[in-house]
Structure 1
């Protein structure tokens, strides 16, 4: 179970490193954030992003020195599904539906985590556990949380995929985190790029408010925790 929890935690950290934020320059009267501080801009972005209900997040980075990719879709209900890992260390799939969460890894993943025996017992099936044990993997309150983060500065505006953004930066020692907030329409977070320091990551957010449907795996594709303990002989 430790491998499951570690990977889920890594996914949460990757996504939550995302928006713990709390910048001013633009084209004069066309700036929707004119006169607002960095803290105020970030607060608007947090409220808008959380309030959208559903969204997608993709990105690449490092976790404890190893490459990591993230590709998640989060539903309004807090259900979610996605993949995390890398071609070199293997990929794991995560699915949260209702009060349960499910995890499935490929052979390379189980081998890279020293859990080949577990992977062999699962045989490609989903491992099920109560959602509470996964630290609320898809909880937007954790993803878009900004307690204690201050001192951002606003730099020159930019574009992400053709969309104009306000650019907020936070420097802490050798680490710089750059946040892109949409200037047109609702002030959603569009990109967060953390460079320097430990666990660099670049995440892109999209499809805010678009429906996300998550279905639990079929019963014959799932191994319950009690059954898994029996399979592992404990």
Structure 2
């Protein structure tokens, strides 16, 4: 089964936010300006942007659960995804790419992953590649599998890659959050009702903004945005840190047994 395309789309989206983090065109001018500017008061007063970023990354990596919602452009196509995951291995996710449909994921434990694609997803996934289906064969496969949950074979690497995106370690790696430095502090703001400070980086025409909770005890990243780059605008929000959620295992008629089909 082909999940590689969707996996690549999600990975491309989250990776957008590591592009300018280490090298900002206006770092020197911003640093010079900030030293002359009035020092901020309140949370993180006297703390450098690099130190704030390090604290935000550490806090974000420490959560037991979190929800991420993102959108952007991948290979010229609009895409959006949601991922809610827990350190116990549970995960709820969905990805939708223009012209390529929607793929939902449920991981009830570290070793149990289920997926459900809509009609557009299977039409796109099954009609391409060296093992592409055509004509009546494609139509039948799409009809049987659309909107049904399946349990991918454990040996399917691309399915495993999607599961990896349901982990904090995988997402931190893709977004290069450990490498966020060289930013300048921007204006304080509010994100979904939570006070936040901003860290801004620029490379050429692209501007990346990291929104950090203005809470020195829990300085989670709340939102990341990127504008002006060659791939257009992208955004990602973080919420529901350390909040429990339930992942139900698909059963009965909603679950398609691939072993019976192949047999």
- Answer whether TM exceeds 0.5 for this pair: yes
Q: Does residue 1:159 correspond to 2:206, yes or no?
A: no
Task: Give the alignment's TM-score, normalised by structure 1.
Answer: 0.81
TM-superposition CA deviations, 1:153-178 (whole Å, max 9, x none) = 21111221232211112222332211
Contact 2:66 2:238 in 1 (8 A): yes
Q: How many Å separate the matches in 2 of 1:208 and 1:48? A: 10
Residues 141-197 of structure 1: CA deviation (Å, up to 9, x unaligned): 121243444311211112212322111122223322111001035111111111222
> What TM-score comes out, normalization by structure 2 length?
0.73
Higher strand share: 1
Q: Does structure 1 retain, via aligned residues, the 8 Å contact 2:117–2:147?
A: yes
Return the alpha-carbon distance in structure 1 between the equivalents of residues 245 and 52 of structure 2: 27
Asked if structure 1 preserves the Cα contact closer than 8 Å seen for 2:67 and 2:240, the reply is yes
Which ranges in structure 1 are unaligned for 5 or more consecutive residues? none
Equivalent pairs, count: 228
In structure 2, list runs of 5 or more residues that go unmatched: 23-30, 128-132
Cα distance change of structure 1 residues 153 and 226 upon mapping to structure 2, 3 Å threshold: farther
Partner of 1:56: 67
Provide runs of 4+ in structure 1 moved above 3 Å: 15-29, 86-89, 112-116, 219-228
Structure 1 CA distance for aligned equivalents of residues 257 and 11 of structure 2? 23
Equivalent residue for 2:166? 138
SS at match of 2:13: helix
Matches within 5 A, 1:1-234: 1-2=1-2, 4-18=3-17, 28-30=40-42, 32-86=43-97, 89-98=100-109, 99-115=111-127, 117=138, 118-129=141-152, 130=154, 133-135=159-161, 136-145=164-173, 146-184=177-215, 186-195=218-227, 196-198=229-231, 200-218=233-251, 221-223=254-256, 230=262
Distance across 1 between alignment mates of 2:73 and 2:7: 14
User: Given the superposition, is the C-alpha separation of residues 26 and 8 from structure 1 closer, same or farther in structure 2, using an over 3 Å criterion?
Assistant: farther
Structure showing greater radius of gyration is: 2
Q: How far apart are the structure 2 equivalents of 1:171 and 1:121?
A: 48
Q: What's the C-alpha RMSD, in Å, of the aligned pairs?
A: 3.0
Shift of 1:17: 4.1
